[in-house]
Amino acid sequence: MKRRAWLWMAAGLPGLAVAQSRPRVVSVGGAVTETVFGLGAQDQLVGVDTTSLFPLDATKLPQVGYARTLSAEGVLTLAPQLLLASSEAGPPPVLAQLRRAGVRVEVLDEHHRFDGVLERTQRIGALCGREREARQWVGRLQQDWAARPKPPAGSTPRVLFVLAHAGGQLRVAGEGTAADAMLALAGARNAFAGVQGYKPLTAEAALQAAPDVILCTDQGLEAQGGVDGLLRAPGLTLTPAGRARRVQSMEALLLLGFTPRLPQAVAALTVKLHGGVA
Classify each residue of 41-61 as buried b or exposed e, where b means 16 or more C-beta atoms within 10 Å of its C-beta.
bbebbbbbbebbbbeeebeeb
Whether residue 11 has pLDDT greater than 50: no
8 A C-beta contact, residue 185 and residue 161? no
pLDDT at 165: 80
1.10.569.10, 3.30.1490.20, 3.40.50.1980, 3.90.930.12: CATH of 158-274: 3.40.50.1980
Alpha carbon distance 239, 185 (integer Å) = 24
The CATH classification of domain 20-146, taken from the options 3.40.50.1980, 1.10.390.10, 3.30.1330.40, 3.90.1150.10: 3.40.50.1980
The pLDDT tens digits for 153-178 are 888 999 999 998 866 789 999 999 99
Task: Give pTM, 2 decimals.
Answer: 0.87
Pairing relation of β-strands 198-200 and 104-108? unpaired
- What is the predicted pLDDT for the residue at 166? 67
Q: What is the predicted pLDDT for the residue at 19?
A: 46
Instruction: Report the DSSP beta bridge partners of residue 243.
Output: none
Q: For the chain, report the end-to-end CA distance as a whole number of angstroms.
A: 68
In whole angstroms, give the CA distance from residue 104 to residue 123.
14
In sequence order, the 6+-apart residues with CB closer than 8 A to the CB of 95 are: 70, 83, 85, 89, 105, 107
Query: Which part of the chain has CATH 3.40.50.1980?
Result: 20-146, 158-274
In whole angstroms, what is the distance from residue 138 CA to residue 14 CA? 25
